[in-house]
Amino acid sequence: NAGVTQTPKFQVLKTGQSMTLQCAQDMNHEYMSWYRQDPGMGLRLIHYSVGAGITDQGEVPNGYNVSRSTTEDFPLRLLSAAPSQTSVYFCASSKLDQETQYFGPGTRLLVL
Amino acid sequence: GENVEQHPSTLSVQEGDSAVIKCTYSDSASNYFPWYKQELGKGPQLIIDIRSNVGEKKDQRIAVTLNKTAKHFSLHITETQPEDSAVYFCAASKGGSQGNLIFGKGTKLSVKP
């Protein structure tokens, strides 16, 4: 049972490049979410999903796309990276009937 | 929407002393209040949580109190140890299928030996 895994751990992009941050969980959790963490800002919700085929926007969705084709995976896509997207990204998951969310180790993204 | 304020932003204590971190929330419909500990380079980990039908919860050296009327909750760490040094986040949510967590901005706790 690996819990929540994220890849890559670290990525450098140039402005305008695209990439996908991967998130997977093996706990059969219905709820999955993406947060970004910036200094002094805490964790802010980007997008979330309550099950396969269902996604919704969080507090800061602009510039990010998500999809949920399986229960296990919830990738986050940056279509055209901007320096303002330099951040640490965390994926989290939980059962819908349990509030406890489990976080992955994070992806540190630098956009030049 | 929900807004969570967390104080202080930094806290330094001597080993063995107690540490208290306070949070306030704005949405009276919130009913679930977790606390996360984040060590350097790692993801947040849940350390304790409380639901709105409970006023206090304790787990060894860690306790959380909730005042629903005043809409604030606090984390208490007693007999602090150097390994308690980390960033602590409070959060609030409406729970269940509305389980989006709204986080405070974090408190960096330093425990000096």
pLDDT score at B70 = 94
Q: Which of B43, B100, B104 lies closest to A42 in CB terms?
A: B104
Instruction: For A59-82, write each residue's pLDDT tens digit.
Output: 999 999 999 999 999 999 999 999
Sequential DSSP letters for B14-41:
ETTS-EEEEEEES-TT--EEEEEEE-TT
Residues 83-102 of A with CB under 8 A from B: 90, 94, 96-97, 99-102
In chain A, the percentage of residues whose pLDDT exceeds 90 is 88
Q: How does DSSP classify residue B79?
A: S
| Average pLDDT of the residues of chain A | 94
Q: Do B100 and A58 touch (CB under 8 A)?
A: yes
- How far apart CA A29 and CA A98 sit, in angstroms, is 10
Minimum distance, in Å, between the CA of residue A17 and any CA atom of chain B = 25
The shortest CB-CB distance from B42 to any of A45, A102, A105 is to A105
Q: What is the pLDDT of residue B53?
A: 85
**pLDDT at A1 > cutoff 80:** no
Task: Give the Cα separation of B42 and B111 in Å (integer).
Answer: 19
Tell me the three state secondary structure of residue B4: strand
Would you state the pLDDT for residue B54? 83
- The whole-number average pLDDT for the span A33-47 is 93
B90 half-sphere exposure, CB direction, 13 A CA radius: 30
Tokens 């670290």, residue located: A10
From the centroid of its chain, how far is CA B48?
Answer: 8
* pLDDT beneath 70, residues of chain B: 95-99
Alpha carbons A59 and A81: distance in angstroms, whole number: 18
B51: nearest CA partner in chain A: A99
Q: Do B42 and A31 touch (CB under 8 A)?
A: no
Q: Which member of A96, A97, A99 has the closest CB to residue B32?
A: A99
Q: Do A31 and B99 touch (CB under 8 A)?
A: yes
pLDDT at B1: 80
Nearest-CA distance A60 → chain B (Å): 12
Is beta strand B45-51 parallel, antiparallel or unpaired with respect to B102-103? unpaired
What is the model's pLDDT at position A98? 80
Please, are residues B44 and A103 in contact by the beta-carbon 8 Å criterion?
yes
Question: A106 at the B interface (CB within 8 A)?
Answer: yes
Is the confidence at residue A106, as pLDDT, over 70?
yes
pLDDT at residue number B97: 56
Count residue pairs from A and B with Cβ separation < 8 A: 59
Q: CB A94 to CB B99 under 8 A?
A: yes
pLDDT reported for residue A58 = 92
Predicted pLDDT of residue A39: 87
Average pLDDT, chain B: 93
- What is the structure's pLDDT at B71? 95
